[in-house]
Structure 1
């Protein structure tokens, strides 16, 4: 039998909480019967919801929270004034060892601020990053950072590459995921200073990372590499653009099939194929972004998701716990530090790669 895994849930986070959170936990429990939940939120609202699912109720504990973090709360305000919120208490449970991971569909900025304050970062990581995976022509691709760090230097990008590689290895079961740096071209002289320096470092270090060099925007959909590394500003814009393009495509398809009688007949004939298309593009399948680099597993669910999407975020959290994500990241960072001490990066090579040499 698999070892029991306990996950704490911010039951009040998300557009459709707490109903969505409870229903999502019920779906996840059917797939992963060894799960256990700590649900933080308004006890008066949670009790009758849990009573609808006796099996879930048996493996869940409600812990009352007198506050909620709203989507309008600034991270600094949430950190100072929402200490008894469902989000903060759910994170505290991981810190205190009551749970092995936390999930919230609430305010992303507040979640990052609270999680970083409570859990702290792993030694060797300057800044945590938000990572998720998305559909491509080849399968799925991990991308990070998605908005936690607007500006990044070369060290941040190298750390993201190390963490993203481990994340992809666990999520996809790939022995050696390929890694690329998002850039404005694949030529070595293109890009800003941080990207070029990060590429030079990744080429020189003696680590089992399949660094493929630079990738461009269209490589996101191609699935050219398993892990795409970028700063939070670029990553967030790329992610939102991809999501918007997917919605636009679905909108065009609907308009096309409603445009005439024969188009409607065509829809009926292609209905099964279109259903497979919808399932493949369904954002709920890819719900669950990881806050990498923290001393604890923290997963961000999309705020507008439904129960099925939230259950998938629970699945991601479970897999990262079961496969000991943080222990593997720490081991990779130790190996990186050893490689750097044995063979320090050639600063001249890095300067040349960044175009700074005379």
Structure 2
């Protein structure tokens, strides 16, 4: 099993990316970790005890966070991100990870790795936390701002397969994000998608509202990229504000500081529920290879979690399973 990592992408690259890859290589010695980027910088952060299952592949260039995605991918063929994608395309790696420019990574997936046969639009997938710690897989969360009903149908099928293969959820419940639970609620997109999902080879439970997602009312949440991205960022903002409010409240007086000390373990559990580093990255499903987008501020723990996520997806033959289902009736 070979997992290629863009060592130069992300807010903390290459330092924490390399250290996260090192932690993963030590934890799972059967995985061959391919670190793509500037050799000198990578070696500096690896130190003298480089495990035998880490290989460095030199890349001369880097795609910056503010570069225009399509132009950057086309012009910077020797960038760490593009070269990492080439390894997957050429069969030299089973998966790629990057915490770099999101748009550039999606472009790399489409133009370098290539779109899966039968898929019209790939989807960005993220595991949202739920109060029972099981989580809900949501897609699309921003790969495409516009979608057709057929795209939502493909998202539902891909998400259902992912939930089953990677997370081991039997017959996962698939919900359609909407403004109400009634069948006829929503806009033209969701109404048309509802009709397609009713007859799809999935366990479709109908419309779900965003306010119920965190109580685990479905296992897979289907939405277009525009609505999904707004929902995700609203949740992130709410969580950040909530933790700040709690921190301010518990530090306002000696009495509340004592209360905070008593509640410390419970507060840590709450923060862990909302911690993206626990879940790894966001796979770009619908690409002819496993492409995972890590959070831009990924640290050692996040990169290691993303490697674990890729490992599970490879072992469960996620990509071949999705391709087989999508093309079953072609």
Residue 110 of structure 1 corresponds to 104
Take 1:305 and 1:123, find their aligned partners in 2: how far apart are those partners? 31
Report SS of the residue matched to 2:249. helix
- Residue 7, structure 1, aligned to residue 3, structure 2: yes
CA drift of 1:145 comes to: 0.4
Structure 1 position 222 matched with structure 2 position 215 = yes
The partner residue of 2:162 within 156, 167, 172 is 167
Using structure 2 for the length normalisation, give the TM-score: 0.96
State the Cα distance separating 1:31 from its structure 2 match.
3.1
Between structure 1 and structure 2, the one with the greater Rg is 1
Q: Does 1:301 align with 2:266?
A: no
| Residue 71 (1) aligns with residue 65 (2) | yes
After TM superposition, give the deviation of residue 130 of structure 1 in Å: 0.3
SS of residue paired to 2:210? coil
Aligned to 1:153: 148
SS in 1 for 2:170: coil
SS in 2 for 1:172: coil
Distance in structure 2 (CA, Å) of the matches to 1:273 and 1:148: 35
* 5+ residue gaps, structure 2: none
* C-alpha distance in 2 between matches for 1:277 and 1:158: 34
- Deviation (angstroms), 1:187: 1.4
- SS in structure 2 of the partner of residue 331 of structure 1: helix
**Cα distance, 1:52 vs structure 2:** 4.3
Q: CA deviation at 1:286?
A: 2.2
CA distance in structure 2 between the partners assigned to 1:28 and 1:291 by the alignment: 21
Partner of 1:254: 247
Q: Are residues 1:60 and 2:54 paired?
A: yes
How far apart are the structure 1 equivalents of 2:137 and 2:55? 33
Structure 1 residue 278 displacement after superposition: 2.3
Report SS of the residue matched to 1:102: strand
Q: Which residue of 2 aligns with 1:354?
A: none
Distance 1:196 1:31 in 2: 47
Partner of 1:185: 180
Output the CA distance in 2 between the equivalents of 1:141 and 1:53. Answer: 39
Structure 1 segment 129-140 matched on structure 2, within 5 A? 129-138=123-132, 139-140=134-135
Q: Displacement, 1:141?
A: 0.3
The Cα shift of 1:150 comes to 0.4
- In the other structure, the counterpart of 2:14 is 18
Aligned counterpart for 1:312 among listed residues 305, 309, 316 = 305
Distance 1:221 1:87 in 2: 34
Q: Deviations over 1:9-45 (max 9, x none)?
A: 1000000001111111122224322111111111111
Distance in 1 between residues matched to 2:102 and 2:86, nearest whole Å:
17
* 1:153 Cα offset (Å): 0.5
How far apart are the structure 1 equivalents of 2:234 and 2:213?
A: 11
Tell me the CA shift for residue 78 of structure 1: 1.1
CA contact (8 A) 2:7 2:18 kept: yes
Provide the aligned C-alpha RMSD in A.
Answer: 1.3
Structure 2: how far apart are the matches of 1:156 and 1:280?
A: 30
Name the residue aligned to 1:38: 34
Conservation of the 8 A alpha-carbon contact between 2:131 and 2:273: no
Secondary structure at the aligned position of 1:54 is classed as coil
Question: Residue 93 of structure 1 is aligned with which of 78, 82, 87?
Answer: 87
The 3-state SS of whatever aligns with 2:126 is: strand
Unaligned runs of 5+ in 1: 339-358
TM-score, normalized by length of structure 1? 0.89
How many residue pairs were aligned? 329
The answer on whether the counterparts of 1:26 and 1:53 sit within 8 Å (CA) in structure 2 is no
8 Å Cα contact 2:20/2:301 also seen in 1 = yes
63-72 or 163-172, larger mean C-alpha shift: 163-172
